[in-house]
A = this chain, B = another copy of it.
């Protein structure tokens, strides 16, 4: 089985079969052969299709499952991961109430506009200068009190039909909307966190005093192929919530 992947890696000069299979599977995910929520073919079928043993397919799927691209369900099959059925909504949101409660959040959309991407946004999203972007502004509230102020930037091209009406009519995670309506699936993200003092506008929106300490969370989200597709700048009021992280 010669290298099926067209990419010419610089150093490795050797690619395990299961890595090549993994690449083929990712390609099928990218092209939408299997959509979020779908079951992919069984291990046996894939083994036959790729002319390898079931164990090799298994190892490829194993890695994609630990990367959260696929979900295994014993007795049922292997499924394309989705932001739909998340446990408590907001898969990437690490904010938790200080009392361990579930703490569901309400959303309030403040703004949605299209414009030429500012320079820093264009750089983060790898847009050419002059390309348009969509800016969303929204509030998350816990028990009616504002907790998160989000400033969300999306590349204009894939998110062509995004409008305030479309967003307001939507129930469920925003990332689920992106999947189903725009074919953009968020895979992973990087966050840069700092402490800042609330500026005037922010203080008003979050109902805190001017200069109150807030958590600034800048999130850059990526889709298949490590392409950045969302820049999100959040301000979190951490007086009764905290950002939770696990290290290992």
Q: What residues make up the interface of A, taking CB atoms closer than 8 Å to B?
A: 66-68, 92, 94, 187-197, 211-216, 219, 236, 238, 241-248
Interface centre among A194, A195, A212, A238 (most CB of B within 10 A): A195
A137 to B193, CA, bound (A): 24
- A5 and B247 alpha carbons, distance in the complex (Å): 27
Secondary structure call for the A interface: strand
Do B194 and A242 touch across chains, with their CB atoms under 8 A apart? yes
Q: How far is the CB of A195 from chain B (nearest CB, A)?
A: 4
- Please determine whether B248 and A187 come into contact, CB atoms closer than 8 angstroms: yes
Out of B188, B236, B238, B244, name the residue touching A190 (CB < 8 Å): B244
- In contact, B67 and A188 (Cβ under 8 angstroms): no
Nearest first, the 6 A-B pairs at minimum CB distance are A194-B238, A195-B213, A195-B195, A193-B243, A213-B213, A188-B248
Chain B residue nearest in CB terms to A69: B248
Across the interface, which residues of B come within 8 angstroms of A238, CB to CB? 193-195
Minimum C-beta distance from A128 to chain B (A): 24
Most chain B beta-carbon neighbours within 10 Å: one of A92, A246, A247 = A247
On chain B, the residues within 8 Å of A241 by CB distance are 194
Residues on B with C-beta less than 8 A from A92 are 247
